[in-house]
């Protein structure tokens, strides 16, 4: 059986934690922060854990990261 390919877009956007959860960076924080509310800028800081229903889809794209 041939090797499964990892989806390139998924490996750039997601990381798998030690417990198997999928971690991702928040959206809408690349540029234009001065016109956004300060509360939105604060909450978008850092990374977040993907919901389990969406993580199931991402795991199909990352076959060797689990």
Residue 1 within a domain: no
**Per-residue three-class SS string for 10-62:** HHHHEEECCCCCEEEECCCCCCCHHHCCHHHHHHCCCEEECCHHHHHHHHHHC
For range 2-23, the mean pLDDT: 95
> Is residue 60 very low, low, confident or very high in pLDDT (cuts 50, 70, 90)?
very high
Residue 23 within a domain: yes
The predicted model scores a pTM of 0.81
Q: What is the structure's pLDDT at 65?
A: 87
- The tokens of 66 are what? 């689990």
Q: What is the structure's pLDDT at 57?
A: 96
Residue 66 within a domain: no
In this predicted structure, the answer to whether residue 66 has a pLDDT above a threshold of 90 is no
For residue 14, give the nearest of 46, 59, 64 by alpha carbon: 59
Residue 3 within a domain: no
| 54: containing domain | 8-61
Count of domains for the chain? 1
Residue 52 within a domain: yes
For range 3-28, the mean pLDDT: 95
Contacts of 28 (CB under 8 A, 6+ apart): 36, 40, 44
> Is residue 1 very low, low, confident or very high in pLDDT (cuts 50, 70, 90)?
confident
* CATH code for the domain in which residue 22 is found: 4.10.410.60
């Amino acid at each position: 059986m041939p090797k499964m390919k990892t989806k390139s877009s998924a490996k750039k956007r997601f990381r798998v934690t030690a417990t198997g959860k999928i971690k991702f960076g928040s959206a809408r924080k690349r540029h234009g922060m001065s016109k956004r509310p300060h509360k939105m800028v604060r909450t978008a800081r850092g990374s977040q854990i993907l919901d389990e229903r969406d993580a199931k889809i991402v795991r199909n794209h990352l076959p060797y990261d689990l």
